[in-house]
Structure 1
Amino acid sequence: MYKILTLNNISPKGLSRFPLDHYEVSSEMREPDAVVVRSFKMHDMALADTVKAIGRAGAGVNNIPVEAMTAQGVVVFNAPGANANAVKELVLAGILLAARHICAAWDYTRGLAGTDAELNKQVEEGKKKFAGFELPGRTLGVLGLGAIGVKVANAARALGMNVLGYDPHMTVDRAWQLDSGVQQAAGIDDLLARSDMVTFHVPLNDATRHLIRADRLRIMKPGAVLLNFAREGIVDEAAVVEALNQGHLRTYVCDFPSNTLQGHPKVIALPHLGASTQEAEENCAIMVADQIRDYLENGNIRHSVNFPDMSLPRAGSSRLTVINSNRPDMVGQISHVLGQNSINIVHMVNESRNGVAYNLIDVEGNLDGEAARGIAAIDGVLKVRVL
């Protein structure tokens, strides 16, 4: 019986992927095999040694101590693309809100009072303050062409916009999905300089923190719109406010309110709604549940942020998984222990990432506790499982 600990309210459709005859799912559990989490901050959380996997029902993993988990041989999964449509739709809403001054116009209208005739007079007098622009012919810059960025770029093309894209790490699969009319920018600065509106869809890490800062804001066209539905720390908020105050930026639309932005008339800050749809929550929960189940039962890894993806059809009488530090002769030592125990390797795959290696080994022979203990005793081995 596998035990699954939930740290947030997880969609029942996702949790239903764990069959009750083999899984116990609870929000209170001392020694779980895996953890499913959404936004709960795990950095100060003490985890039992029994934990083998963590599934983040979403894309970002900033709330999970990934480096520490890697050192302990714990696989961290996420759900890339599962909430992409929800975020895409909110980005499109943000583009339209900024282009037509909808939020400011709505606030203005809600503050009106008087008879219908008086209201109509105030409307006609005030509407000129909210004149906007149409999207066809305008250029949208999309920085980051992963699951969300590609959907945003394609949707903007469908609205008649010119689209510039930039992603030095774009995959072949994403390239196939991208509208052929999307132009490639030479780099970040080129994209910023040529765009009327800019949206970015990149993870928050040391390389992307304050990626949008004062010097890059100065490169942007006067009157440009900046949209942030990725992560708060990617933008230097103080620099954005200064650009808004100077009139260089027209509007900043984001999903991350803060005291720095609060009350600014040119800021539209939403309460982190990016993935807040029923469909997105269900899709994310289903995806990570399936990933955790496949890993616990078969040792296969899909969509891990800290271990290599690896999938191997079952062969042999037993399966062994080994996580170890990526150093010379580890495979040789593992094979030697198996040979000493008269266990024959039928099929074996070894991949490494982030200083650790993962081994999927199908064997014929008596894979008893003695062989597993012998492998676990090898210096550098972090975790051993017999499936």
Structure 2
Amino acid sequence: MYTIKTMNAISPVGLAKLPAGVFEIDNDAAAPQGILVRSADMHEAPLPESLLAIARAGAGTNNIPIDRCTEAGIVVFNTPGANANAVAELVIGALVAGSRNLPDAIQWAKGLKGSATLAKDVEKGKKQFVGPELRGKTLGVIGLGAIGSRVANAAVALGMEVLGYDPYISIDAAWSLSRSVQHCVTLSDMLPRCDYLTVHVPYMPSTKHTINAQTLAMCKDGVRVLNFARGELVDTAAILDGLSTGKVASYFCDFPAEELLGVHGVYCTPHLGASTPESETNCAVMAANELSDYLRNGNITHSVNLPDVQQPRLGGRRICMIHKNAPGVISAITGVLTAANLNIENMVNKSKKDVAYTMLDVTGNLEDTLAGQLAAIPDAIRVRIL
């Protein structure tokens, strides 16, 4: 029986993927084997020795202490692509709303309540909200993953010219991308041509302030910028300066910040990107399946700190070992198994930076002391025998 603790409300559809009899959902568990989390901050939370895996029902894992988890042999999962449609739809909505000045127009129309000359006021006032159509305009998409590719394809369907920049585009993303999307090798190739610019890359030190004073200087005057990925990807000071000079016409952002609120031309939404029932269900189902497969079978899919490793169960016992990515570890493992007179039926080993994962299916008389022998290997981090 595996105990799972949830640190946020998780969709019942997702929890149903953890059947009773194999899993117990206990939100107050002191020693869970797995944790399901959405946005709860875990940086100050204890990581009990029992904890084997954390599954984040969402893409970002900034709320999870990744380094501490890796050191403790705790696999951290996320759910890339599960909320992609929800975010992409919101971006397209913001693209239309920003181009046609809908937020300001709606707010202005509210002020007409009670006017004795309502019809005249509407006809006279609407001129100040005239905005361009999207058809024929150019959209630059930075990052062509699950979300960026959907945005790009939808913009193509709206009749836009779409430019894409992603030096790390995956094969799956490339296959899903419309052939009408033009690939740019550098940002300097793309930015001067864009009427609209949207960013869809993960946040990490290398992507911080992807949109900054230098990149904005390459853009057309009056560019409209959208950020529904992470607030830190855009330099707030640079955006505010661009708004004041006219370099930036508007900034749509899903991450409110004190400096942005109340500024003309800035439209903040309260982190609504994945806030749909469908997205929450998709994320919960994927997270629960990842957690279940790892706890029951040792398979790793969509981990942010361990390599992805999958191997079908063919009988016998399975040994799962997280260890440092160092010379001699594999020979040490096989040496222990040979001494124990165990036959290795299948074996897979993969690494991710300084950590590696080895999974072996063995047959033979497996003694209770084997896990301790494997754990005694100097570079071992965690050993499980299923």
TM-score when normalising by structure 2: 0.98
Q: Which amino acid aligns with 1:56?
A: R
Q: 1:83 matched to which residue of 2? A: 83
Q: 2:120 matched to which residue of 1? A: 121
- Counterpart check, 1:349 vs 2:348: yes
The share of aligned pairs that are identical, in percent, is 48
Tell me the distance in 1 between the aligned counterparts of 2:167 and 2:304.
18
Superposed counterparts of 1:1-387, under 5 Å: 1-115=1-115, 118-387=117-386
Tell me the distance in 1 between the aligned counterparts of 2:295 and 2:245.
55
Deviation at 1:370, TM superposition (A): 0.9
Tell me the distance in 1 between the aligned counterparts of 2:3 and 2:53.
11
Tell me the distance in 1 between the aligned counterparts of 2:171 and 2:82.
19
Deviation at 1:189, TM superposition (A): 2.7
Helix, strand or coil at the partner of 1:296: helix
Q: Which runs of 5+ in 2 are unaligned?
A: none
Deviation track 1:21-44 (CA, whole Å, cap 9, x = no partner) reads 111112211000011100011111
Deviation at 1:368, TM superposition (A): 2.5
Deviation track 1:294-346 (CA, whole Å, cap 9, x = no partner) reads 00000001111111111111124111101100111101001111111111111
Deviation at 1:265, TM superposition (A): 1.5
Tell me the distance in 2 between the aligned counterparts of 1:341 and 1:258.
59
Q: Which amino acid aligns with 1:53?
A: A
Tell me the distance in 2 between the aligned counterparts of 1:263 and 1:364.
67
Deviation track 1:144-175 (CA, whole Å, cap 9, x = no partner) reads 01100110000000000000001111111111
- 2:197 and 2:226 in contact (8 A); partners too: yes
Deviation track 1:211-253 (CA, whole Å, cap 9, x = no partner) reads 1111111111101100000001111111101100111110000
Deviation at 1:113, TM superposition (A): 3.7
- 2:319 and 2:361 in contact (8 A); partners too: yes
Deviation at 1:115, TM superposition (A): 4.5
Q: Which amino acid aligns with 2:379?
A: G
Q: Which amino acid aligns with 2:150?
A: K
Helix, strand or coil at the partner of 2:369: helix
Deviation track 1:242-271 (CA, whole Å, cap 9, x = no partner) reads 100111110000101111111012011101
Bigger drift between 104-113 and 187-196 goes to 187-196
Q: Which runs of 5+ in 1 are unaligned?
A: none
Matched residue count:
386
Tell me the distance in 2 between the aligned counterparts of 1:292 and 1:72.
17
Bigger drift between 85-94 and 70-79 goes to 70-79
- 1:198 and 1:225 in contact (8 A); partners too: yes
- 1:319 and 1:362 in contact (8 A); partners too: yes
Q: Which amino acid aligns with 2:233?
A: I
Q: Which amino acid aligns with 2:193?
A: R
TM-score when normalising by structure 1: 0.98
- 1:145 and 1:165 in contact (8 A); partners too: yes
Tell me the distance in 1 between the aligned counterparts of 2:227 and 2:265.
14
- 2:318 and 2:385 in contact (8 A); partners too: yes
- 2:13 and 2:285 in contact (8 A); partners too: yes
- Displaced runs of 4+ in structure 1, greater than 3 A? 113-116
- 2:184 and 2:190 in contact (8 A); partners too: yes
Tell me the distance in 1 between the aligned counterparts of 2:316 and 2:204.
43
- 2:167 and 2:185 in contact (8 A); partners too: no
Q: Which amino acid aligns with 1:238?
A: A
Q: Which amino acid aligns with 1:364?
A: T
RMSD: 0.9
- 1:141 and 1:199 in contact (8 A); partners too: yes
